[in-house]
Structure 1
Amino acid sequence: MTEWTLSGFGDEIDEDPAVQLSVLLALGASHLEFRSAWGVNVADMSDEDVTRLSALLDRHGVRVSAIASPIGKTGVYDDAPTELARLERVVAVARRLEARYVRLFSFYRPDGVAVEATRDTVLTRLGAFAKVAERESVVLVHENEKAIYGDTPERVLDIVESVGSPALRVAWDNANFVQVGVRPFTDGFAALRPYIEYLQVKDARAADGVEVPAGQGDGELRETLTALRDSGWTGFASLEPHLHDPARPDVLSGPRRFGEAARAFAGLATELGVRLT
């Protein structure tokens, strides 16, 4: 049977990492995708906070699948040395928490600037990031966030092939593709499959862009997961549902709706003969 490793964005559940880890374990996840704890983003955490988090992870027996960094979720023409220094810090945290992957993005552009005009700057900056990753033996996974350079399959492919580094791969997000008018599996899967290293589990409706549990939207999740299974892909499937519980406006999903998302994905996996560990 095909096995994938289940992870999740703990801060969608609660700001307290002890709650994050307890809920993830109850849902069958063995890993955490770490973005923030105690309301502090990973890029801003002190060494003391990282040590405190590491002790919690050890106590719960949970490992870190990836660092969900904010790197590249900034303006394409913003200060490059500052963002490179932030990446260095995030990579140091990844090494401390024994995480192989670091998520990043490919920059927003100013209003009125054509996406094509930013290409050279994007590739130069991501190339510098990849050199850091190669040196530190981590893998950067680019997420196709809407409104950045790499928000369509064609431009994601351009990024990974033009930078040409084994330390820069793809974090696939079906919902984000839907939200920019792309049919994820139909329009992008075949071209990007050789570079898909990490799966963000999220779905959305094409009509209004609203996120829904996996398999209940237009993200072609069933087709994508089937093709990943059939092609022999094994890796991390990380829950990032963005389901929004009005009772928990302080976090993106909250425990109840995060659990709903986990059960929906588990149901899809069972249908497809994939075991989540």
Structure 2
Amino acid sequence: MTPEPWILTGFGDEIHTDPRIQIAVLKALGAKHIEIRSAWGTNILDLSEPQLHELRSLMDTNGINVSAVASPIGKVEIELPVEHEVDRLRTAIRAADILKAKFIRIFSFHCGAATGEASIRDAVMERMTALATLAEDAGVVLLHENEKDIYGDNPARILDIMETVDSPALKVAWDPANFVQVGISPFDEAYALLRPHVAYLQIKDARASDKVVVPAGEGDGDIPRTISALKADGYSGFISVEPHLASAHLLGGFSGPAAFGDATRALTSILADAGVQTA
């Protein structure tokens, strides 16, 4: 049986603020999907309904689809009430519905002034369960990204979230650079634990020595080994380019068209070496 090709996608706002340029560059690189974090310089949660419909029209005109809504949900302090992020998820679900996206990227909260891991854990699990319950009802899947400086920044806590919430609407988005930046060797320390929950790949790499983000294969993110293992495990799904090569900030990062192209070619070269086809 011929393996299914992996689906190439990428963070459009790493390329440019204008979604027309985002789409043009992604198409030139061979992608037929885009991950939406912002458009026209506005975060996905703040886009108006007419703007969302305009985005959908642009996608339809250009024959491109949305792989995921890359929301900032959960990238807030744990002290905020549960309903704060549940309300924002309702907004993200509406955006995903208009953009015809199944996946919504989320995080597991900054711990802020909270003290004591047990109390923080309980608050995180309460919030993640509420989010997953709403997602299940809406028919979308939440992707937890292992962002640094949130509760779920290491493999053990991510696994605890997955097993405690235990919802088909909550899966793992694998980001190797973020693991490197918190002192974790992604393949050796995280892959076996989290593989059963991985449903999406967000690819950037980083050097362990100075935490600087670099193109795939140039850092310590174990990307070639991980891709080979995923292929052997029968992974099929999205692989998203998120280079962060020019700058990074609280709600995302930027690379520009040229650096984004370099990052995409570095990744597709690794995929080709592993015998992974993309679509």
- TM bucket, shorter chain: over 0.9
**Contact between 1:141 and 1:198, CA under 8 Å: does it hold in 2?**
yes
Q: For 1:136 and 1:112, locate their aligned partners in 2 and report how far apart those are by CA, in whole Å.
A: 31
Letter in 1 for 2:34: L
Partner AA of 1:21 in structure 2? I
Q: How many residues align?
A: 273
2:178 aligned residue: 176
Q: Relative to 1, partners in 2 of residues 1:152 and 1:6: Cα closer, same or farther, differing over 3 Å?
A: same
- Of the three residues 227, 232, 235, the one matched with 1:233 is 235
**Counterpart contact for 2:173–2:202, Cα < 8 Å:** yes
1:31-46 alignment runs, 5 A limit: 31-46=33-48
Question: Residue 217 of structure 1 corresponds to which residue in structure 2?
Answer: 219
1:207 and 2:195 are equivalent in the alignment = no
8 Å Cα contact 1:115-1:149 kept in structure 2: no
* TM-score, L = length of structure 2: 0.95
The 1:215–1:116 alpha-carbon spacing in structure 2 relative to 1, beyond 3 Å, is farther
TM-score (norm 1): 0.96
Residue in 1 that maps onto 2:54? 52
Task: Trace 1:16-27 onto structure 2 (pairs within 5 A).
Answer: 16-27=18-29
Aligned partner (choices 131, 134, 144) of residue 132 of structure 1: 134
* SS, match of residue 169 in structure 1: strand
Question: 1:230-274: CA deviations, max 9, x gaps?
Answer: 0000000000010117xxxx9610000000000000100110000
Match of 1:241, SS state, is coil
Gaps of 5+ in 1: none
Query: What is the identity, as a one-letter code, of the residue corresponding to 2:263?
Result: A
- How is 1:56-67 mapped onto 2 (pairs within 5 angstroms)? 56-67=58-69
State the shift of 1:111 in Å.
4.5
The answer as to 2:99 corresponding to 1:97 is: yes
The 5-angstrom pairing of residues 155-194 of structure 1 reads 155-194=157-196
Kept in 2, the 8 Å contact 1:18–1:56? The answer is yes
Provide closer, same or farther for how the CA distance between residues 167 and 112 of structure 1 changes in structure 2, counting only shifts above 3 A: closer
Q: What is the letter of the counterpart of residue 258 of structure 1? A: F
Whether 1:87 aligns to 2:89 is yes
Cα offset for 1:151? 0.2
What secondary structure is seen at the aligned counterpart in 1 of 2:6? strand
CA positional deviation for 1:95: 1.3
Asked if 1:120 corresponds to 2:129, the answer is no
Counterpart of 1:77? 79
Q: Percent identity?
A: 50
Paired residue secondary structure (2:8): strand
- Identify which range, 65-74 or 90-99, moves more after superposition: 90-99
- Displaced runs of 4 or more, over 2 A: 111-117
Partner of 1:262 in structure 2? 264
Contact kept in structure 1, 2:79 and 2:114, CA below 8 Å: no
Distance in 1 between residues matched to 2:81 and 2:50, nearest whole Å: 28
Q: Secondary structure at the match of 2:195?
A: helix
Q: Hey, what's the Cα distance between the residues in 2 that align with 1:204 and 1:82?
A: 33
Write the letter of the residue equivalent to 1:148.
I
- Give 1:197's aligned residue: 199
**Structure 2 letter corresponding to 1:100:** K
Structure 1 SS opposite 2:80: coil
CA RMSD of aligned residues (A): 1.3
Contact 2:13/2:38 (<8 A) preserved: yes
